[in-house]
Amino acid sequence: MNNRGIFFGAVVLIAALCGLTIIFGSWYTVDQTQRGVILRNGAVVGTAQPGLGFKIPMFDSIEKISVRTVTWTWDKMNSYSFDQQPADLKISVTLRAAPEKVSELYSRFGGLETAVKQVVAPVVNQQVKIVFGRYTAVRAIQERGALNGAIRDAIVTALKDDSMLVIESVQLENIEFSHAYLQSIEQRMLAEVEVQKLQQNAEREKVQAQIVVTKATAEANAIRQRAQAESEAITLRGNAEATAISARGKALGDNPHLVTLVQAEKWNGVLPVTMVPGGSVPMLALGK
């Protein structure tokens, strides 16, 4: 093969490679969880939506930006409470890139990770310290939900002007105080438990004393009622006997023979065995 043939073959090969480059370099695909940034000679000229698209070979390129929701976590974020108790906080922020702002995000930061490091991380660090510094250590533990909401609102408000990022949630995952402070809390809780136990014992003794007093009062009332009833019964019996005696006395006055009649009613018909000289025989003088 002469030089002319070799040259012709090289030209054909180069043309074929250029043709393949043009053919395969004129289209692109973007996944549903992404958006594409169209660059022409390095300058942003548009945004590529999910699916198949076409571009100018050799001049255009596509940078793909994820718009999927991701969670970024900051461990051991050192902060101080209102009462100067040191604590390490674990904060997680769930966010995503706004699909309509991917070109701005790429122009400013080149990608989501850099945007999070340069924009979100400083805001999270600053706002967490500010909000946590408003809470005492005890209040931060007791009102953890309110603290989490305050941190979330502060971060969202601080990032509201960066519309290229969408904050979906902020979570205060953990608060870790110093070992010395945790020991002091434990001792305080034990003391409170002991105080509560003593208060419960005092209340129980008070209730028991009230029960004893109630029983004694009830028993005294019962005795008083029984004595009163007995007294009233005696009075009634006395009044009845007095009334009966009075009635008998009146009857005797009205009928002198009533005593003889009563004796006759009670006589069993037997004469006495011995008689006193000059005495009368019972029940024989009824007709006199």
- pLDDT digit string (tens) for 127-141? 999 999 999 998 998
Q: How far is CA 147 from the centre of its chain?
A: 16
The percentage of the chain sitting over the pLDDT mark of 90, rounded to a whole number, equals: 46
DSSP annotation of 86 reads: E
Looking at per-residue pLDDT, the higher value among 213 and 170 belongs to 170
pLDDT value at residue 66:
94
Instruction: Indicate the range of 9-18, 31-40, 127-136, 154-163 predicted with least confidence.
Output: 9-18
**Phi, psi angle pair for 44, to nearest 5°:** -75, 125
Q: For residue 164, name the pLDDT band (cuts at 50, 70, 90).
A: very high
Over 80: is that where the pLDDT of 261 sits?
Answer: no
CA dihedral of residues 39, 43, 45, 47 (deg, nearest 10): 50
Spans of all domains in the chain? 14-65, 70-177, 186-248
Over 80: is that where the pLDDT of 60 sits?
Answer: yes
Over 60: is that where the pLDDT of 1 sits?
Answer: no
pLDDT value at residue 88:
95
pLDDT value at residue 67:
95
pLDDT value at residue 165:
94
Over 80: is that where the pLDDT of 9 sits?
Answer: no
CA angle 177, 182, 183 (to 5 degrees): 150
- Return the CATH number of 70-177, one of 3.90.1260.10, 3.40.718.10, 3.40.50.300, 3.30.479.30: 3.30.479.30
Q: Which two tokens stand for residue 121?
A: 């991380």
pTM of the model: 0.59
Mean pLDDT computed over 174-186 = 83
pLDDT digits (tens, 9 = 90+) for 92-115: 999 999 999 999 999 999 999 999
How far apart CA 156 and CA 162 sit, in angstroms, is: 10
